[in-house]
Structure 1
Amino acid sequence: MTTSFLPEPDGEPTPEARQLYDDDLAGLGYVMNASRLWAHQAAAHDALFGLLGQCAEAANLDDRRRGILITATASTLGDSYCSLAWGTKLADPSLAASLLQASDDRVEGLDDAERAMAAWARKVVRDPNGTRQSDVQELKAAGFTDAEIVAITLFVALRMAFSTVNDALGARPDAAYRATAPAEVLAAVNYGRPIAPGPT
């Protein structure tokens, strides 16, 4: 089964890779294709997600806000894997589909702070050198502190790094998404690598 351009590492998994697999099995019932890829550098995966967790805490990101930031980031980057994963995690499938399809952030169901975050994420992905003081001021007007703005920006940049590694090395979204992703989300993700073959 083709899940990425690289096979899983040979031999016994490292303790970090085994933990990746065990966490997937406990939470999902299967090992994600991304985890099979990151098993080659599982310690780096842990360090990356440790830093993402620090950023989420510093920016006061709950699950909904993390989902909004990640879907805005992944869809703008054209990453189908994270779009499907987080579009599925968001509690409102219609909101998720709107975020995944939007080229801007005139999305129903977002409050002012969420709209400002999503707009900022898209700008950072599209052209980090094209951002302006006025863009940062929009975040401040929505209630974010300077420290939170740095944490949000770092969160987006780290998610871009994670998506870039997955996409460049051919990681395909897990076959399970055919069954677990809401129909609206499946329809919205018409970009990036296709879902992997295999049973759902």
Structure 2
Amino acid sequence: MFIATIDEQDATGEIAEIYAAEARTLGFVMEGTKCWTALPQVAPLVEHLLHAARSNFSLGLVNWRLITLVAAKQIPSTYCSHVYAKLLIQDLDSKEKVRAIQHDFRTAGLAAKTVAMLVYAEQIARDASLVTERDIDLLRHHGFSDREIADIAFCASYRCFMSRFFDAVGAMPESTWLDPDPEFRAAMTVGKPA
């Protein structure tokens, strides 16, 4: 990490609660969580927004993770690529499937509706100014409601915000997230070296 953050033993109030909850869940506190404590007035807001958005995401946790993986590649965010690849391996029970999705989700055997969702998320992460009403109509044609389209847009946009801050302050993926397979690890290292 390039900047000073609040250490776990020095955390108080809401930040201590955030750290404790993450340590209970993961067994450690991620650098991606700690880095926000350089702005202690913002850290709880970021954390609460993430949890509120993810827990109310209309398309389910696996789609949240798929969108995040695709967006992370475009940003490019090594941190988020490794974290979400590891989570998706558990979800999909296949490292090969996750690698295929990260390489090119269009040819990874996903349903046409899922591919349409990821095409939209990818464009948001690349350059959202190029999204047109035609893109939205195509999503509707695939059966997405406006609420679901807004959720996809939020998830991809939020990942850009989070990942760019992580890189800007030097947060790096913990060894827990790094796959032992060097080829897989290299594929998920899309930005800064891990």
Shorter chain as denominator, the TM-score bin is 0.7 to 0.9
Aligned partner of 1:7 in structure 2 is 4
Give 1:187 shift.
Answer: 3.2
Give 1:110 shift.
Answer: 1.6
Kept in 2, the 8 Å contact 1:75–1:101? The answer is: no
Amino acid at match of 2:103: Q
Kept in 2, the 8 Å contact 1:75–1:83? The answer is: yes
Amino acid at match of 2:125: V
Residues 130, 61 of structure 1: alpha-carbon distance in 2 compared, 3 angstrom cutoff: same
Aligned partner of 2:98 in structure 1 is 96
Kept in 1, the 8 Å contact 2:85–2:188? The answer is: no
Q: Which runs of 5+ in 1 are unaligned?
A: 196-200
The percentage of counterpart residues that share the same residue type is 25
The one-character-per-residue Cα deviations of 1:61-98 (angstroms, maximum 9, x if unpaired) are 21211111100111111101111101100123222212
Flag as ranges the 4+ runs of structure 1 deviating above 6 A: none
Query: How many pairs does the alignment contain?
Result: 188
Kept in 1, the 8 Å contact 2:6–2:37? The answer is: yes
Secondary structure of the structure 2 residue equivalent to 1:134: helix
Return the alpha-carbon distance in structure 2 between the equivalents of residues 61 and 53 of structure 1.
15
TM-score, normalised via structure 2 length: 0.84
Residues 170, 47 of structure 1: alpha-carbon distance in 2 compared, 3 angstrom cutoff: same
The structure in which a higher percent of residues are helix is 2
- Of 18, 26, 29, 1:28 maps to 26
Amino acid at match of 2:5: E
Return the alpha-carbon distance in structure 2 between the equivalents of residues 45 and 113 of structure 1.
35
Residues 100, 177 of structure 1: alpha-carbon distance in 2 compared, 3 angstrom cutoff: same
Return the alpha-carbon distance in structure 1 between the equivalents of residues 153 and 126 of structure 2.
13
Give 1:8 shift.
Answer: 2.6
1:147 pairs with 2:144: no
Return the alpha-carbon distance in structure 2 between the equivalents of residues 158 and 75 of structure 1.
14
Matches within 5 A, 1:34-183: 34-41=32-39, 44-56=42-54, 59-90=57-88, 91=91, 92-102=94-104, 105-178=105-178, 181=179, 183=181
The one-character-per-residue Cα deviations of 1:77-132 (angstroms, maximum 9, x if unpaired) are 11011111011001232222123223xx3132321221111111110111111112
Q: Which moved further from structure 2: 43-52 or 32-41?
A: 43-52
Give 1:47 shift.
Answer: 2.5
Return the alpha-carbon distance in structure 2 between the equivalents of residues 116 and 45 of structure 1.
33
Kept in 1, the 8 Å contact 2:101–2:108? The answer is: no
